[in-house]
Amino acid sequence: MKALLCKQFGPPESLTVEEIPSPKAGPGEVVVTVKAASVNFPDVLIVQNKYQVKPPLPFSPGSEFAGVVKEIGDGVQHIKPGDRVIAFAGYGGFAEECLAPANRILPIPGNMDFVTAASFILTYGTSHHALKHRADTRPGETLLVLGAAGGVGIAAIEIGKVLGLQVIACASTEDKLAVCREHGADATINYATEDLREGIKRATGGKGVDVVYDAVGGPYAEAALRSSNWRARFLVIGFASGEIPKVPLNLPLLMERSIIGVYWGEWSKRTPAEFASAVRELGEWFMQGKLKPHVSSQYPLARAAEAMNELAGRRAKGKVVVVP
Ligand SMILES: NC(=O)c1ccc[n+]([C@@H]2O[C@H](COP(=O)([O-])OP(=O)(O)OC[C@H]3O[C@@H](n4cnc5c(N)ncnc54)[C@H](OP(=O)(O)O)[C@@H]3O)[C@@H](O)[C@H]2O)c1
C-alpha cells in the first residue's frame, strides 16, 4: 500500500509517498482502508517535531480519517470488517490503510459521506468540549472566535449558534469572514485591517465579550482578554500563529476572568463515557442539519504535502482533505 512517510523531521515538502507493507491488526487493533483523511494543524507540527505527540520515525502523519474496516484484532467487539468508520488515531491517516487502536474508532453517524466524516470529529469535538464542558456557556452570552475560518474555528461558530450564543468571528481576509457568516457568525472582525479591541467595541456596542475561543495565540490573545467582561472565560485552544502569548495576570484578577486550557485529545482518552456522549450529540446535531462541515479543497495522496502546506500557509478555509 502507498503511504506518505515522515522519515526525518522537517517541513511537509520533505515527506515522501512510498510503497510499504500493509499493516496487520494485533489484539485490540483495527486496520482501516482509508477513504478520506483531513488535515489538522497538529499534522503540520508533528512532522516538524513541534507537537506534544512524538511518534517513532518513520511514520505517516494524518490524525483523523474515515474509511472501511478491513481487519480487526482479538478482543475488538464494537466494530467489524466492512463497517464505515471515523478514526482519530493521532497519526497514520495519510496512507491507503491505517492501523489504529479500537478505542480510537467510531461508526460514521448516519449516512455522512467519507470526506465529511474525515472532517468532523476532531474539530467539532474540540469546539464542543471547549464551549460546553470547559466554558460552560449560557444562551445569550457573547463568544469571540479567533481564527474563525479555520477548522476548529468554523466548528466553534456553528456550535456557538447551537448553544444560543452571539458569535463574533475574527479572521484575516474578507473571503474568510464571508465563510464565517455563511456558517452563522452574527458579526465579523478583520483583525488584519482593524484593531481587534476597536473591532470588539464596535461589534458589541462597547459591552465586551463573555467567552474568547483562541486558536491563534500571538498578540490577539491579550487584546481579546482585555476586551472581555466580568467573569469572562478565555479558552486556550492553540497557537496557530506560532507564538505562545504571555499575558499579565492582573487581567484575570481585575475582572474575575478565567483562563481555561482545552486539550480535547487527552480529555477523550481520560473520560471515554463523556466523550462517547459528546460524539452522539454532535452526530444528532449533524443529522438535524445544525452542523455543516466546510471542506474547501481535496488532494490525492501524492499531493498530501500541498494539502498540509495550504493549512500551514494560512490559505485554508474550513477543512482540507486528502483522498487516497
Ligand atoms: N486544544 C485542543 O484540544 C486542540 C484541538 C485541535 C486543534 N487545536 C489547535 O488549534 C489550532 C487551530 O487548528 P486548526 O486545525 O483549526 O488549524 P487551521 O484550520 O489552520 O486554522 C488556524 C487559523 O489560525 C489563523 N492563523 C493565524 N496565524 C497563522 C499562521 N501563522 N499560520 C497558520 N494559521 C494562522 C488562520 O486564520 P487567519 O488567517 O484568519 O488568522 C487559520 O485559519 C492549532 O494550533 C491546533 O494545534 C487544539
pLDDT surpasses 90 at 164? yes
Q: What would the grid cell of residue 265 be? A: 485529545
Q: Determine the residue of 126, 152, 263, 319 to mutate for testing ligand 1's pocket, defined as the one with the most ligand atoms within 8 A of the Cβ atom.
A: 152
- For residue 216, report the distance from its CA to the centre of ligand 1, in Å: 6
How many of the other CB atoms lie within 10 Å of CB of 77?
A: 7
Amino acid letter for position 206:
G
Cα of 220 vs centre of ligand 1, distance in Å, is: 13
For the chain, give the percent of residues with pLDDT over 90: 97
| pLDDT at position 228 over 90 | yes
Please calculate the CA angle 122-127-132 and round it to the nearest 5 degrees.
130
- Indicate which atom in ligand 1 lies nearest the CA of residue 172: 40
- Ligand 1 centroid distance, CA of 214 (Å): 9
Residue nearest atom 28 of ligand 1, based on CA coordinates: 241
Residue-wise pLDDT tens digits, 94-105: 999 999 999 999
Atom of ligand 1 nearest to the CA of 261: 1
Report, as an integer, the average pLDDT of 121-138.
Answer: 97
Amino acid at 302: A
Per-residue confidence (pLDDT) for residue 198, from 0 to 100: 98
Nearest Cα neighbor of 127 from 101, 91, 165 is: 165
Q: Are 204 and 142 in contact (CB under 8 A)?
A: yes
Query: With 90 as the cut, is the pLDDT of residue 52 above it?
Result: no
Contact 127, 152 (CB under 8 A): yes
**Position 272 pLDDT exceeds 90:** no
What is the Cα–Cα distance from 124 to 207, expressed in whole angstroms? 28
For residue 58, whether the previous peptide bond is cis, meaning omega lies within 30 degrees of 0, is yes
Residue 170 DSSP one-character state: E
Taking the model in full, what pTM does it have? 0.95
Domains, in order of start, for the chain? 2-120+294-323 (3.90.180.10), 122-265 (3.40.50.720)
pLDDT higher than threshold 90 for residue 123:
yes
